[in-house]
Amino acid sequence: MINFHILTIFKNIFSEYFFEGIIGKAQDKGLINIYTYDLRDYAEDKHKTVDDYIFGGGSMLFKPEPLFNAVENIQKNKILNNNKKCIILLTPQGQQLNHNLAKEIASFKDIIMICGRYEGVDERVRENLVTHEVSIGDYVLTGGELPSMVLIDVVSRLIPGVVGSQDSVSEDSFARGLIEHPQYTRPSMFRNWKVPEVLLSGNHKEILKWRRQESLRKTFYRRPDLLDSVKLSEEDLLFINKLKLKEE
């Protein structure tokens, strides 16, 4: 079970998304808990100020006090066991999220996520409060709320029992370091497009071979960078060499 704690100034954003589908069911089954906290509740003045001007010029930045107060409060009241800490700042400056980073994050029991807004957060939050900085891609969003939802989604899928069949998680793109092979369902003939014959053959050995090769083919053409860090068999290498020859 994983507890996700989201610090935000826009709590309402989250309710709809997390009630539905697999993430909603995961909460019903007690496999994950999602808590949202309004950062303004942790501000120190009567106006509940969470942001301020940037020293030296620029627009607005999250002040450190509400963030430290909120995290420390959660740690005191909600996180009873003194686990290794995981306090994530969602930021375009962070480590880019991928399957391996999601697996690392899924090893924590309590995950605190800070959703930045404005120009970001006071640097002292980075240096003295957060343990991980995570980006979901090389583009700048208006805040960390969407990235935190992406992170919760991808981490939750890795918890046994959240997705109906754990096989389908281990077969996903990236789970084995490759892009997933193409998949088809009925009808076997749609308009003029036929499902590859081998998939209708019932020959499991041949189907597995076809899937592996198509997975390698897709990865070779779309994400050749992935092939450098995946374990390949002799047979895989032969197949990739054939693809390379075709390219020449």
Q: Which is nearer to ligand ADE, 95 or 201 (CB)?
A: 95
Q: State residue 208 phi and psi, 5-degree precision.
A: -60, -40
Q: Which is nearer to ligand ADE, 135 or 215 (CB)?
A: 135
Residue 138 annotated among the catalytic residues of the structure:
no
By CB under 6 A, residue 135 contacts ligand ADE: yes
| 120: exposed, middle or buried (Cβ count in 10 Å: 0-12, 13-18, 19+) | buried
Contact predicate 117/81, CB 8 Å: no
By CB under 6 A, residue 141 contacts ligand ADE: yes
Q: Considering the candidates 38, 65, 171, 172, report the single residue annotated as catalytic.
A: 172
Q: Which is nearer to ligand ADE, 35 or 118 (CB)?
A: 118
Angle value at C-alpha 149, between 163 and 121, nearest 5 degrees: 150
Residue 172 annotated among the catalytic residues of the structure:
yes
Residue 64 annotated among the catalytic residues of the structure:
no
The Cα-based distances of 77 to 72, 81, 110 in angstroms read 9, 11, 12
Binding-site member from 2, 26, 87, 136 for ligand ADE (CB under 6 A): 136
By CB under 6 A, residue 140 contacts ligand ADE: yes
By CB under 6 A, residue 144 contacts ligand ADE: yes
By CB under 6 A, residue 216 contacts ligand ADE: no
Q: Considering the candidates 72, 119, 197, 235, report the single residue annotated as catalytic.
A: 119
By CB under 6 A, residue 112 contacts ligand ADE: no
Residue 196 annotated among the catalytic residues of the structure:
no
Contact predicate 145/10, CB 8 Å: yes
By CB under 6 A, residue 121 contacts ligand ADE: no
Binding-site member from 61, 92, 111, 125 for ligand ADE (CB under 6 A): 92
Q: Considering the candidates 51, 110, 145, 157, report the single residue annotated as catalytic.
A: 157
Which long-range contacts link 68-73 to residues 24+ away (Cβ below 8 Å)? 68/125, 68/129, 69/42, 69/44, 70/7, 70/37, 70/39, 70/41, 70/42, 71/7, 71/112, 71/114, 71/129, 73/42
Binding-site member from 46, 57, 139, 160 for ligand ADE (CB under 6 A): 139
**Token digits of residue 95:** 């480590």
Q: Which is nearer to ligand ADE, 66 or 177 (CB)?
A: 66
CB of 75 to ligand ADE, least distance (A): 22
204 contact partners, CB below 8 Å, separation of at least 6: none
Name residue 17's amino acid.
Y
Residues classed as catalytic: 92, 119, 157, 172
> Binding residues for ligand ADE, per CB under 6 A?
90-92, 116, 135-137, 139-141, 144, 147
